[in-house]
């Protein structure tokens, strides 16, 4: 792991913006004591004192905007580690302890760096080699295809378990061990990606978008959307979607 920059305290005044220069595959960890808006790659995310962010740059600058009426204090780490995530990768729900430890250390500690690597490795999609595939239960591969094909329909863990003929707990544990992600989290990732794309269509209501990606309940859709994007669907559309020409 190579650390390029550690920012332990940077003040951003009301209405100000700041740009951090990044290279492709740079990781950026950032936390703030108040709400800030992040623009990176093709996404916009709102962070706050309880929601830090972890991003990997794929193109363009990393921009931070303070839309509050008060100054905000930022802390951040820019680093590379040889791990390349999917395009537009970012997280707002993750273990922040190793990053905070690194920010508090005068000299970067190898243990903190190792913990960050261990955090990132399971999120990186492993290469699918023939030997790798041979060790995977073919039912799990079949289930993965089923989720990708049917993510936009109401699906429960019980239904997924019934599809491959196992107990839900066994399925969740086995799937997570093989793919480093639970089947429901993978399902929600696909749904959230589709939801963001549908947000561009201002003719669709939030309810219609929720139903289009497999949710029968708008509150449930909004709750999960906020976990992924740190804002509600309505807030995301307001801040991130270009309004139609008048």
Q: What count of other Cβ atoms lies within 10 Å of the Cβ of residue 92?
A: 21
> Are residue 78 and residue 133 in the same domain, yes or no?
no
User: Which two structure tokens, joined as six digits, stand for 120?
Assistant: 């990132």
End residue of a domain, out of 92, 123, 154: 123
CATH number of the domain that residue 229 is part of: 1.10.10.60
Does 158 share its domain with 209?
Answer: yes
Please tell me whether residues 134 and 110 are part of one structural domain. no
Question: Given pLDDT bands bounded at 50, 70 and 90, which one contains residue 119?
Answer: confident
Which residues span the domain enclosing 137?
129-246
Element housing 90 (H / E):
strand 90-91
Q: Write the CATH number for 35.
A: 2.60.120.10
Who contacts 241 (Cβ-Cβ below 8 Å, separation ≥6)? 199, 200, 202
Of 10-14, 44-48, 212-216, which gets the smallest average pLDDT? 44-48
E strand or H helix that includes residue 64: strand 62-65
Residues 133 and 224 in one domain: yes
Give how many domains the chain has, as a whole number.
2
Examine the fold and report which residue of 123, 151, 173 is the final residue of a domain before the chain moves on: 123
pLDDT, tens digit (0-9, with 9 covering 90-100), for 147-159: 999 999 999 999 9
**Is 24 or 131 the better-scoring residue by pLDDT?**
24
* Whether residues 133 and 119 fall in one domain: no
Query: Which of 89, 104, 123 marks a domain boundary?
Result: 123
Number of other CB atoms surrounding residue 231 within 10 Å: 24
- With beta carbons less than 8 A apart as the criterion, state whether 206 and 233 touch: yes
CA proximity to 151, closest of 61, 69, 212, 198: 212
111 with 141, same domain?
A: no
Summarised one tens digit per residue, pLDDT across range 50-85 is 889 999 888 777 899 998 888 999 999 999 988 887
The two structure tokens encoding residue 8: 């332990």
Does 8 share its domain with 99? yes
Pair (40, 106) in one structural domain: yes
Same domain, 80 and 177: no
Q: 142 and 107, same structural domain?
A: no
């Amino acid at each position: 792991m190579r650390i390029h920059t550690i920012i332990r305290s940077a003040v951003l005044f009301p209405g100000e913006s700041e740009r951090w220069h990044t290279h492709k595959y740079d990781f950026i960890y950032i936390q703030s004591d108040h709400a800030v808006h992040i623009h990176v790659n093709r996404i916009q995310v709102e962070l706050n004192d309880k929601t830090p962010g972890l991003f990997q740059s794929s193109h363009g600058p990393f921009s931070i905007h303070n839309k509050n009426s008060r100054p905000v204090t930022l802390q951040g780490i820019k680093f590379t580690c040889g791990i390349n995530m999917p395009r537009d990768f970012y997280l707002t729900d993750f273990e922040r302890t190793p990053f905070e430890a690194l920010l508090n250390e005068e000299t970067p500690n190898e243990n903190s760096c190792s913990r960050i690597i261990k955090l990132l490795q399971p999120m990186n999609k492993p290469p699918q080699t023939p030997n790798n595939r041979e060790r995977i239960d073919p039912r799990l591969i079949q289930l993965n295809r089923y989720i990708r094909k049917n993510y936009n329909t109401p699906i429960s863990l019980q239904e997924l378990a019934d599809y491959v003929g196992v107990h839900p707990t066994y399925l969740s544990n086995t799937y997570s061990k093989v793919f480093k992600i639970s089947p429901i989290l993978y399902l929600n990732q696909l749904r959230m990606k589709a939801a963001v794309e549908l947000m561009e269509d201002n003719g669709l209501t939030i309810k219609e978008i929720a139903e289009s990606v497999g949710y029968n309940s708008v509150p449930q859709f909004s709750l999960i959307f906020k976990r992924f994007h740190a804002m509600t669907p309505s807030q995301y559309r307001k801040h991130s979607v270009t309004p139609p020409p008048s």
